[in-house]
């Protein structure tokens, strides 16, 4: 079979793209996901490439690039966030995937954006390597269990014994927790439906996060990414210095776990510790099973996580980037230590 890659309009490819997502995902795809993620992004509409059988025009798969404003060494740059790479099962061959993946790289080479990044699953990593994308580093998960009942259930089975053991062990664990000894510098509060107002703009403009490549986190972006997200409801921990923000942590509650999407505060300041301590206490009050956070290895929050009893888990994935060799950014973008990058910077 012969295949051809097309750059399509978001209207023309909408129904087939949603059907392809549905055929390649384990969850139901809400059409609002397409419109919100591809059309309403304040950094620009998505670019969609499809790959089709030349003989019939049938869509074998598609992928999109989501525009993302970034700062590189303090200067505004444009990039693409690779997302929703989907090949229907009957067309899954190396050649089809490589052709489709190469389309975004060629767009970077043509000067559409300065560079791209992507977070493929394990099966797709070889495709990224084959088209010339560079591995930046591992996306790693850190977790802190708050209730030990589930641990005892996995270890010993049964119902009543793990419940009893958990009730005995949990108070002892809490006495040893660093968050109980932490003395905050800033006042903190939990906000169930955060209003991303101009305080977030001022924080982003003022903060030195200690990294050379940083995705823009102004109110316009945060409002779209989190407040208007149709997939989940985002809550926040805010660290306040009078009427100003000193930092924030954004999280989602799912399956009795607080999944942290982003933590943003000065790299060398106390706000990060205040945010984590308050989130842990809040999660314990809600009797959640634990807290989980995924970041690019080397993220400045990692040292704080370890101090508060988070441990690195085995599951991880690889982040990739591509920048033309002749670009002035070629010495920055592929370097792990350049990035401030968390799960909230990935595709959704």
Q: What is the pLDDT of residue 173?
A: 61
Mark whether 278 and 154 lie in a shared domain: yes
Q: What is the pLDDT of residue 139?
A: 97
Mark whether 301 and 277 lie in a shared domain: yes
Mark whether 121 and 231 lie in a shared domain: no
Q: What is the pLDDT of residue 199?
A: 97
pLDDT tens-digit series, residues 35-87: 999 999 999 999 999 999 999 999 999 999 999 999 999 999 999 999 999 99
In contact, 20 and 88? CB cutoff 8 Å:
yes
C-alpha to C-alpha distance for 2 and 262, rounded to whole angstroms: 43
Mark whether 185 and 227 lie in a shared domain: yes
Last residue of a domain, one of 132, 158, 176: 132
Across-strand partners of 240? 187, 245
Q: Would you say residue 22 lies in a domain?
A: yes
Mark whether 215 and 161 lie in a shared domain: yes
Q: Would you say residue 326 lies in a domain?
A: no
Mark whether 147 and 253 lie in a shared domain: yes
Which tokens in the block code for residue 212?
A: 């050379």
Which tokens in the block code for residue 295?
A: 């970041």
CB within 8 Å of 239: residues ≥ 6 apart: 186, 187, 188, 245, 246, 247, 248, 265, 271, 274, 275, 278
C-alpha to C-alpha distance for 253 and 308, rounded to whole angstroms: 20
Q: Would you say residue 323 lies in a domain?
A: no
C-alpha to C-alpha distance for 87 and 51, rounded to whole angstroms: 9
Burial class (CB in 10 A: 0-12, 13-18, 19+), 26: exposed
Mark whether 262 and 310 lie in a shared domain: yes
Mark whether 126 and 150 lie in a shared domain: no
Beta-carbon-side half-sphere exposure of residue 52 (alpha carbons within 13 Å): 15
Q: What is the pLDDT of residue 159?
A: 66
pLDDT tens-digit series, residues 120-151: 998 899 999 999 999 999 999 999 988 766 65
Last residue of a domain, one of 75, 108, 132: 132
Q: Would you say residue 332 lies in a domain?
A: no
Q: Give yes or no for residue 302 having a pLDDT over 70.
A: yes
C-alpha to C-alpha distance for 106 and 20, rounded to whole angstroms: 23
Q: What is the pLDDT of residue 190?
A: 98
C-alpha to C-alpha distance for 83 and 64, rounded to whole angstroms: 5
Mark whether 174 and 283 lie in a shared domain: yes
Across-strand partners of 139? 296, 317
pLDDT tens-digit series, residues 312-335: 998 889 999 999 999 999 999 999
Residue 164: which H helix or E strand, with range?
A: helix 160-175
pLDDT tens-digit series, residues 150-205: 655 656 666 666 566 556 566 656 555 667 778 899 999 999 999 999 999 999 99
What percent of the chain is modeled with pLDDT above 70?
Answer: 91
Beta-carbon neighbour count of residue 216 at 10 Å? 16
Q: What is the mean pLDDT of the chain?
A: 91
Q: Would you say residue 268 lies in a domain?
A: yes
Helix axes 160-175, 149-156, angle to 10 degrees: 140
Query: Which residue range(s) make up the domain with 162?
Result: 141-317
CB within 8 Å of 183: residues ≥ 6 apart: none
DSSP annotation of 149 reads H
Mark whether 296 and 169 lie in a shared domain: yes
Q: What is the pLDDT of residue 113?
A: 98
Q: What is the pLDDT of residue 164?
A: 63
The mean per-residue pLDDT over the stretch 259-274 comes to 93
Q: Give yes or no for residue 294 having a pLDDT over 70.
A: yes
Q: Would you say residue 297 lies in a domain?
A: yes
The mean per-residue pLDDT over the stretch 343-347 comes to 94
C-alpha to C-alpha distance for 5 and 101, rounded to whole angstroms: 10
Domains identified in the chain, total number: 2
The mean per-residue pLDDT over the stretch 224-236 comes to 96
Give the CATH number for residue 206: 3.40.630.30
The mean per-residue pLDDT over the stretch 257-262 comes to 98
Mark whether 280 and 248 lie in a shared domain: yes
Last residue of a domain, one of 132, 165, 186: 132
Mark whether 255 and 285 lie in a shared domain: yes
Q: Would you say residue 94 lies in a domain?
A: yes
């Amino acid at each position: 079979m012969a295949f051809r890659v097309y750059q399509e309009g978001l209207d023309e490819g909408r129904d087939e793209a949603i059907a392809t997502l549905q055929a390649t995902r384990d969850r139901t795809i809400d059409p609002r996901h397409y419109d919100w993620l591809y059309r309403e992004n304040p950094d620009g509409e998505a670019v969609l490439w499809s790959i089709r059988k030349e003989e019939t025009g049938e869509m074998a798969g598609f992928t999109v690039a989501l525009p993302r404003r970034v700062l590189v060494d303090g200067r505004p740059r444009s990039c693409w966030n690779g997302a929703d790479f989907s090949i229907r099962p009957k067309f899954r061959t190396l050649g089809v995937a490589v052709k489709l993946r190469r389309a975004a790289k060629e767009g970077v080479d043509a000067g559409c954006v300065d560079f791209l990044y992507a977070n493929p699953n394990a099966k797709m990593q070889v495709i990224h390597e084959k088209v010339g994308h560079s591995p930046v580093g591992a996306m790693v998960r850190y977790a802190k269990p708050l209730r030990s009942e589930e641990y005892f259930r996995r270890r010993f089975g049964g119902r009543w014994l793990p419940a009893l053991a958990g009730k005995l062990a949990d108070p002892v664990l809490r006495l040893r927790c660093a968050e109980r000894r932490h003395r905050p510098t800033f006042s903190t509060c939990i906000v169930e439906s955060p209003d991303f107002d101009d305080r977030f703009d001022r924080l982003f403009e003022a903060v030195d996060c200690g990294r050379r490549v940083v995705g823009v986190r102004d109110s316009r972006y945060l409002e779209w990414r989190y407040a208007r997200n149709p997939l989940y409801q985002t809550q926040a921990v805010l660290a306040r210095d009078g009427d100003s923000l000193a930092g924030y942590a954004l999280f989602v509650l799912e399956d009795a776990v607080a999944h942290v999407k982003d933590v943003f505060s000065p790299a060398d300041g106390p706000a990060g510790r205040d945010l984590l301590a308050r989130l842990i206490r809040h999660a314990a009050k809600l009797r959640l099973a634990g807290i989980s956070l995924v970041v690019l290895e080397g993220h400045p929050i990692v040292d704080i996580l370890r101090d508060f009893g988070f441990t690195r888990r085995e599951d991880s994935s690889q982040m990739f980037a591509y920048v033309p060799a002749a670009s002035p950014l070629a010495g920055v973008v592929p370097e792990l230590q350049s990035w401030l990058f968390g799960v909230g910077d990935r595709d959704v």
